[in-house]
């Protein structure tokens, strides 16, 4: 690690305050160009520790930047991993207050729920499918704390991969009843289809994004416990939203989930 504990805490404070006060900031690598991956995840861990200390519960994990569309949109080339706390969850069809966010965007995703523990290294699509209870449609609301969504990978990891809100719903499906590579998704904004794709856009198979997360956690001596909800990553580019927008995600064979921005 390149940063000392005091600096890690100060950067966690800066990023979480941006989230809580709906203010943007410049990317932290501008001030700390030498910070490394361990520093970036240590800042994310400190943000997580603060939220848990305030009584929030970690209720899900996420893989991000898992599609070529997203990597191209953001000018980066590898996945990143983050967490969601209970205040990020929006009920299916529920409201998301734009005043609590900076510049939200939505991503169509496949959400996984595990039935057994996943522990890397060595996790692959097969181990993930064997450990999956069901999959269902999920919309992630991302809200980078960085001005104009301008960041590099280490900065976005420290910022908990822009996690802000999410909704899941529709018809849960057993992974043996579908081919997640060819499953089609359509995301509608105010009734107009704005994004289309298939599961294979996520690392060739959405389960590969879950395996990557398990292997990342395994390298840190952690695992994905049974019963964990995981967002596998945006299938298309993210779409900007504002108050008044209604977003619906339809996933082939899994029904739909929706969220209203107010």
> Phi/psi at 53 (nearest 5 deg)?
-65, -25
**Choice from 48, 51, 64, 139 touching Mg ion (CB under 5 A):** 64
Q: Which of the ranges 10-18, 187-195, 228-236, 250-258 carries the binding residues for Mg ion, by CB under 5 A?
A: 228-236
Strand partners of residue 224: 118
Strand partners of residue 113: 134, 229
Q: Which of the ranges 21-29, 36-44, 62-70, 122-130 carries the binding residues for Mg ion, by CB under 5 A?
A: 62-70
Q: Which does 149 bind (CB under 5 to 8 A by kind): ligand 0L1, Mg ion, none?
A: ligand 0L1
**Nearest alpha carbon to residue 223 among 89, 137, 122, 153:** 122
**Nearest alpha carbon to residue 148 among 164, 162, 136, 135:** 162
Considering the rule CB under 5 A, would residue 143 count as an interface residue with Mg ion?
no
Q: Which does 173 bind (CB under 5 to 8 A by kind): ligand 0L1, Mg ion, none?
A: none
At its nearest, how many Å lie between Mg ion and the CB of residue 242?
A: 19
Which residue's Cβ lies closest to Mg ion? 140
Is the dihedral angle over the CA atoms 222, 225, 231, 235 positive or is it negative?
A: positive
At its nearest, how many Å lie between ligand 0L1 and the CB of residue 142?
A: 5
At its nearest, how many Å lie between Mg ion and the CB of residue 48?
A: 17
Q: Are 9 and 49 in contact (CB under 8 A)?
A: no
CA pair distance 259, 2, nearest whole angstrom: 41
Binding site for ligand 0L1 (CB under 6 A): 62, 64-65, 70, 74, 80, 107, 140, 142, 144, 149, 156, 161-162, 233-234, 238
């Amino acid at each position: 690690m390149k940063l000392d504990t005091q600096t890690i805490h100060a950067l966690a404070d800066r990023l979480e305050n941006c989230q809580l006060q709906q203010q943007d900031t410049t990317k932290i690598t501008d001030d700390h160009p030498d910070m490394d991956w361990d520093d970036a995840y240590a800042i994310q861990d400190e943000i997580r520790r603060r939220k848990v200390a305030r009584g929030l519960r970690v209720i899900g994990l996420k893989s991000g930047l898992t599609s070529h569309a997203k990597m191209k949109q953001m000018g980066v080339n590898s996945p990143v991993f983050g967490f969601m706390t209970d205040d990020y969850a929006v009920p299916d069809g529920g409201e998301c207050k734009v005043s609590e966010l900076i510049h939200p965007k939505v991503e169509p995703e496949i959400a996984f729920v595990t039935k057994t523990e996943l522990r890397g290294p060595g996790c692959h699509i097969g181990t993930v499918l064997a450990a999956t209870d069901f999959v269902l449609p999920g919309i992630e609301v991302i809200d980078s704390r960085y001005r104009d969504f301008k960041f590099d990978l280490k900065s976005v990891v420290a910022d908990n991969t822009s996690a802000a809100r999410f909704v899941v719903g529709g018809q849960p499906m057993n992974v043996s009843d579908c081919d997640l590579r060819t499953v089609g998704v359509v995301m509608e904004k105010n009734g107009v289809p704005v994004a289309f794709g298939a599961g294979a856009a996520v690392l060739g198979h959405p389960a590969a994004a879950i395996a990557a997360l398990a292997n990342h956690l395994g390298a840190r001596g952690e695992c994905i416990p049974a019963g964990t909800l995981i967002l596998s990553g945006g299938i298309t580019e993210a779409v900007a939203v504002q108050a008044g927008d209604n977003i619906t995600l339809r996933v082939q064979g899994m029904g739909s989930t929706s969220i209203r921005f107010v």
